[in-house]
Structure 1
Amino acid sequence: MKGLYLTAVLLALMMSYANPYKILGVFPVSFKSHWVIGHSIMKSLANAGHEVYMISPFPLKKPIPNYNDVNLVYDNELELGNMFVREDYPPQKHMSLLSNLGEFLSNFTLSHPNIKALLKREKHFDAIIVEVFFFEALYGLAAHYNCPLIGSSTFSTSKWTNDLTKAPMEYAYVPHNFVKFSENMNFWQRTYNMLICQYENLFMELYHYERQERVFDYHFGHTGKSLKAVMKSTSLVFIYHHFSVLSIRPTVANMIEIGGLHVDEPKELPQDIKGFLDSAHDGAILFSFGSMIQGSDLPVEKRNAFIKVFSQLKEKVIWKFENETLIDKPDNVMTSSWIPQRDILAHPNVKLFITHGGLLGTTEAIIEGVPVIGVPIYSDQKMNMLQAQQMGIGTVMEYKDLNEDLILKNINEVLRKFEYQNNAQKISKIFKDRPMTPQQSTVYWVEYAIRNQGASHLRSAAHKLNYFQLHLIDSYLFVLAMIGLIVYGFYKAVQRVLRGLMNTFGVRKVKSD
């Protein structure tokens, strides 16, 4: 059986090299974590022999064969600032900010000289892969080149992915990406989740898509297609999800899970980090808030709380801290403005990962079987960490509640109880147990969509229905009307029977004076 599987993989790779395709990837957001997923998709395709073009603000420092960068140079308009101030933003504010960002990015990308030069120079692409993230006007590139459109989400499913695929949204057990709930919601949480999701439906349909339609019409009016028509024609949507670690969600045939795609085999660590971890005989902790959130932006009182706790531990700590110096740094703490996070998590002495709960870092920890403590700040991070807590591989600390006692309590809880390590190893094994690697799956499905001229047979029939038909509102109204008519008919029949009985027995109404 294993031999047959390897033969199938080799044949697929041979087909790729024998029939190379030209594929354009569009990942314009200046969030490094978003680019990582887009880059991993395009790198997988390039390694399979296809010629890929990558539109992004992060050109490669080391060229990859078949991989062509199209540099999207930014000015200061997209500076993120201190992300900790966004910790308490309500979902509605997140939606508004992202819609504004999406309108800017759509216009900025399509008006950029490097993009205009690419569109003028390259007359053909076999497929377009666009990140699904509030800039739907960019889907028009597929209409411009008359080729399959493939979406890629840096989250799991969402309103944005499900509008492309018509997968159902289940508000009762699928929390919105911007709320801080797990899949096990109580009555009030389910009600709030439903209201937020319905608010987003109205926000997207009545406001956001209108803005994107205007950008689409300006840049792609020559195609004769509408934005909604292009969205309906979507061939596939890659979602950065795997059923073993996130709540089960309804999907349809053209939604492909590629969770773990960005995780390569671990590389050799830099000598200073390797030496530090090798000498951590009592274990080591990795503390990082990822690429978007600066650890050095932590308020002084919260930073000092971590310093005091770390000074009490026998374990060593690697802290991603962007300033050159950390005042009162304990001897068992090593700081660095950049760390090879994935490779550090693979070191056998690393026993705990303190993280903001981003999907990429959480996935890396799961693959290596390392328990986590989460301090979620925004977006899907709270949901990721609540799921980790539910699986028994970590705990969650609220950012606003951070203090010395809380930090020490959580570290001792996860480090000293063996069930966290055991659960993490168990989930790691399940996560890696797949018929194909995420890289192989990505290449296969992109090629499948191209080979089958967009693979329209994978699209849900829900695309043919309007809102009232899809949600059976017309059917419910018809049934209610029929019930009303039946009840009314029954009422009139009873009236006639009673009137007949009254006439039969000579009962007369008595007129009042």
Structure 2
Amino acid sequence: MCSKIVLFTIFSVLSISDSARILGIFQTPTTSTQSVFQAIWKELSLKGHQVTVVSPFPLRDKSLVNLTEIDVSGTTKIFLNHDFQFFMNKERSTTSKIEALFNVNYELSEAIFEDDGFKKIYQNPNERFDLIIIQIHINPIFHTLGARFNAPVIGVSSMGGYIGSHFAIGNPNHPALYSEMFLPYHGKLTFSERWYSSFYNMWVRGYLYFKAMPRCNQIARKYLGSNIPDIEDLQKDLSILFLTTNPILYEPRPNVPIIQAISQVHLKPVQPLNQELQSILDNAKNGVIYFSLGSNVQSIYMPERFRRILIETFAELPYTILWKWESEDLPNKPKNVIIKKWLPQQDILAHPNIKVFMTQCGLQSLEESFNAGVPIIGVPFIADQEMNIKRLERYGVGLEINYLSVTKEELKGKILEVANNDKYRKKVVELNSLLNDEPIKGLEKVVWWTEYVLRHNGTKHLRGPTVDIGWVEFLLLDVISVTLIFTVLCLLILKRLICFIFTKKEKLKTK
């Protein structure tokens, strides 16, 4: 009888992890972020799980029989309606950018809840899921789907964790040691950087508590009902947080057990180029500079001054310039510049004639560059990009360009330096070797931990103690206060005693 129970238990556990029903919400309508999530939901589907995904970039792969995709590509216009020049502008404060990003995400969330395909899921009282996977960037609204379906929640980020996520799960986040990914700091912070980082931490806490979270709760309850718990409480129960980080680009730090670092999950085997691109790259006698600012920061939105400097510089270079330019025409285009609206980046970087990759330094682009062994000219604009290039300069794999102040002479000199000095390429190869020296690949880790959550219906046993402790206790303010009060009382008593003794002595002398 006992053996039958054991066998039944084992069978139940295996069947849960082998054929779970998983709902994924990946809201940001940008190619680079979605490439990470696509790899994850495809792999889980191939492992036999029944996966339903809400995304603006569905795979539409008919061979994935376990996959149902709800196309919300209409949300792309929300990004376009919000002037992305705002986010590119380095002169804007970080706090104003955070507020703007939250505003974008409020609209994205409502648009997804309004989608007819998604409505059929969350409004169906008989619908059930064993697990919810959500994109965690800056938007916590979809945490509420865990409460709606009574299922554990896993978060995935295509970059490092936003400071609000660290706060929510009780992850150590000392402002003097770990720069927030939206701040342009790196390594050991100066006094002014520590000062700003500290007050930025406090501002974020206040902004989340008084403004962002009330709005997020309001949106969630509008669609899921007034009985949905507060998002602040739901975030504490996050089962796993997958961050696309590594100790090369992000400072090594202590993490609570539910944070799992993954990297290079979006990389694919190199595919043959089309005949036109193959011919362009093969016939570039002096090599090719590949220039792309990714899917978030598009070249057509760059400041006019910087575009003019690029064009003048490229005209004087001996290389072929392959430029991802999102328009039919580039005014004053030099003869050695070839523009394309879209380019297969991983396949292009793998070509031996690529000498330099000029990039905005988004994480996915950097991983592709490392994988191909191509050195970098970094032109950072937003989010973690400035932090990334500063670390890469330290490692010697590339050089940074400040698009606000760069001159033609500086730009030309740095491109020639990286293209002609083989030390940069050698450093990239060394860096890639470090990144790949790990016991388990990123996608394998995602699958293992996802099925771990399914087997145990969450990870409450891994919950960090800092989640459930208030700031008074965490900062030992109660201990410090009581100690100070006790010390002051002791000193006052001692003072009284001394005064009493001296008064007695004086009285004895006068008698």
Question: What's the TM-score, normalizing by structure 1?
Answer: 0.90
Q: 1:210 pairs with 203, 210, 214, which one? A: 214
- Corresponding residue of 1:70: 70
- Corresponding residue of 2:190: 186
- Corresponding residue of 2:100: 97
- Corresponding residue of 2:493: 489
- 1:17–1:48 CA contact under 8 A, matched in 2: no
Taking the aligned partners of 1:359 and 1:22, their CA distance within structure 2 comes to 30
Taking the aligned partners of 1:81 and 1:140, their CA distance within structure 2 comes to 26
Taking the aligned partners of 2:483 and 2:225, their CA distance within structure 1 comes to 42
Taking the aligned partners of 1:412 and 1:495, their CA distance within structure 2 comes to 80
Task: Give the deviation of 1:141 after TM superposition.
Answer: 1.0
Q: Does 1:280 align with 2:259?
A: no
Taking the aligned partners of 2:116 and 2:375, their CA distance within structure 1 comes to 46
Q: Which moved more, 1:388-397 or 1:28-37?
A: 28-37
- Corresponding residue of 2:34: 35
SS in 2 for 1:335: strand
Give the counterpart letter for 1:454 in structure 2: G
- Corresponding residue of 2:423: 419
CA 1:345 to 1:480, structure 2 compared with 1: closer, same or farther past 3 Å? farther
- Corresponding residue of 2:80: 79
Taking the aligned partners of 1:165 and 1:379, their CA distance within structure 2 comes to 21
- Corresponding residue of 2:9: none
- 1:245–1:431 CA contact under 8 A, matched in 2: no
- Corresponding residue of 1:47: 46
- Corresponding residue of 2:256: 252
SS in 2 for 1:401: coil
CA 1:193 to 1:306, structure 2 compared with 1: closer, same or farther past 3 Å? same
Taking the aligned partners of 1:328 and 1:317, their CA distance within structure 2 comes to 14
Task: Give the deviation of 1:392 after TM superposition.
Answer: 1.8
Taking the aligned partners of 1:360 and 1:151, their CA distance within structure 2 comes to 18
- 1:237–1:254 CA contact under 8 A, matched in 2: yes
Where in structure 1 are there 5+ consecutive unaligned residues?
Answer: 1-14, 509-513
For residues 2-41 of structure 1, what are the structure 2 equivalents within 5 Å?
Answer: 19-41=18-40
Taking the aligned partners of 1:16 and 1:182, their CA distance within structure 2 comes to 46
Give the counterpart letter for 1:79 in structure 2: L
Task: Give the deviation of 1:384 after TM superposition.
Answer: 1.5
What is the percent sequence identity of the aligned residues? 25
1:267-308 Cα shifts (integer Å, max 9, x gaps)? 222222222222334332210000122212334442232222
1:226-276 Cα shifts (integer Å, max 9, x gaps)? 323321211011111111232223311000111211112222222222222
- Corresponding residue of 1:116: 119
Give the counterpart letter for 1:67 in structure 2: L
- Corresponding residue of 2:109: 106
Runs of 4+ in 1 over 6 A off after TM superposition: 15-18
Task: Give the deviation of 1:81 after TM superposition.
Answer: 6.2
RMSD of aligned residue pairs (Cα, Å): 2.3
Q: Does 1:169 align with 2:168?
A: no
Where in structure 2 are there 5+ consecutive unaligned residues?
Answer: 1-13
Task: Give the deviation of 1:358 after TM superposition.
Answer: 1.3
CA 1:229 to 1:296, structure 2 compared with 1: closer, same or farther past 3 Å? closer
Taking the aligned partners of 2:136 and 2:330, their CA distance within structure 1 comes to 38
Q: Which moved more, 1:106-115 or 1:117-126?
A: 117-126
Taking the aligned partners of 1:296 and 1:99, their CA distance within structure 2 comes to 24
- 2:221–2:228 CA contact under 8 A, matched in 1: no
1:310-341 Cα shifts (integer Å, max 9, x gaps)? 22223322111122233443343221110111
Aligned residues: 493
Question: What's the TM-score, normalizing by structure 2?
Answer: 0.90
1:152-195 Cα shifts (integer Å, max 9, x gaps)? 12321332221342101121121122221112221111111111
Task: Give the deviation of 1:85 after TM superposition.
Answer: 4.5
- Corresponding residue of 2:482: 478
Q: Which moved more, 1:120-129 or 1:40-49?
A: 120-129
SS in 2 for 1:128: strand
1:109-166 Cα shifts (integer Å, max 9, x gaps)? 2232111112345711111011113332211111111111111123213322213421
For residues 79-478 of structure 1, what are the structure 2 equivalents within 5 Å?
Answer: 79=80, 83-86=84-87, 87=89, 88-120=91-123, 123-221=127-225, 225-478=229-482
Taking the aligned partners of 1:277 and 1:310, their CA distance within structure 2 comes to 17
- 1:144–1:223 CA contact under 8 A, matched in 2: no
Taking the aligned partners of 2:326 and 2:461, their CA distance within structure 1 comes to 50
Q: Which moved more, 1:345-354 or 1:252-261?
A: 345-354
Task: Give the deviation of 1:475 after TM superposition.
Answer: 2.3
CA 1:483 to 1:372, structure 2 compared with 1: closer, same or farther past 3 Å? farther
- 1:367–1:432 CA contact under 8 A, matched in 2: no
